[in-house]
């Protein structure tokens, strides 16, 4: 190898290194999928996500079980003294990390809250999300129906 060839191969190696570093920087750290709003209580999705929900029926279930905390049509505005947020979250429009273009993903994100409940951050939140599934307040079909209604509120 003469001096010139050696210099060239060194240069080539250097260029490859710089390109590799640039590529790694561009791809960035992948965003973990679980960064969105998740309930404080543990547990996986329930039977409801495999059922077909009826939004009209879900509206009635919503009015009987959810309006008191989430407001008319889920528009929020209900005070939650002692909670870090001070109001119960609105479901219409819903947190953008819960909403999803894919129906089943959207339904699963909602279902986790409805099945297992969730306690807001803060010293002493007055209101907590109830465990409608775990405490058998609603049947899986009723949960599927209320999910269909909440999704319909967010798909206009």
Among 130, 144, 151, 153, binds ligand HEC (CB under 6 A): 130
The CA dihedral of 77, 71, 113, 95, to the nearest 10 degrees, is -50
The owner of tokens 């570093």 is 21
106 touches ligand HEC by CB under 6 A: no
Give min distance, CB of 35 to ligand HEC, in A: 13
Q: Which two tokens stand for residue 94?
A: 């819903």
Retrieve residue 152's tokens: 């319909």
- 9 or 97: CB nearest ligand HEC: 97
* Per CB under 6 A, 49 contacts ligand HEC: no
**Buried b / exposed e along 31-65 (16+ C-beta atoms within 10 A):** eeeeeeeebebeeebbebbebebbbebbbebbeeb
Least distance (Å) between residue 107 CB and ligand HEC: 11
Nearer CB in complex with ligand HEC: 29/61: 61
Residue selected from 48, 49, 70, 151 as contacting ligand HEC according to rule CB under 6 A: 70
Does the footprint of ligand HEC cover residue 68 (CB under 6 A)? yes
**118 beta partners:** 129
Residue with smaller CB distance to ligand HEC, 50 or 119: 119
Beta strand segments in 22-139, E: none
Please report whether residue 132 would count as binding ligand HEC according to CB under 6 A.
yes
Does 146 bind ligand HEC (CB under 6 A)? Our answer is: yes
Element (H, E) at 32: none
Given a contact cutoff of 8 angstroms between Cβ atoms, the answer to whether 37 and 96 are in contact is: no
Q: Which residues bind ligand HEC (CB under 6 A)?
A: 37, 40, 65-66, 68-70, 80, 88-89, 91, 95, 98, 110, 113-114, 118-120, 127-130, 132, 146, 150
């Amino acid at each position: 190898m003469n001096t010139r060839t050696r210099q060239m191969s060194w240069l080539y190696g250097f260029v490859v290194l710089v390109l590799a570093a640039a590529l790694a920087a561009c791809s960035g750290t992948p965003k973990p999928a679980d960064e969105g709003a998740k309930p404080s209580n543990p547990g996986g999705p329930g039977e409801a996500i495999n059922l077909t929900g009826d939004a009209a029926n879900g509206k009635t279930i919503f009015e009987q079980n959810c309006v008191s905390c989430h407001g008319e049509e889920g528009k929020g505005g209900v005070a939650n003294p002692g909670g870090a947020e001070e109001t119960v979250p609105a479901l219409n429009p819903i947190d953008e990390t819960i909403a999803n273009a894919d129906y089943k993903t959207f339904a699963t994100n909602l279902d986790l809250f409805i099945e297992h409940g969730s306690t807001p951050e803060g010293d002493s939140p007055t209101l907590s999300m109830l465990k409608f599934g775990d405490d058998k307040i609603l049947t899986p079909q009723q949960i599927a129906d209320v999910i269909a209604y909440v999704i319909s509120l967010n798909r206009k």
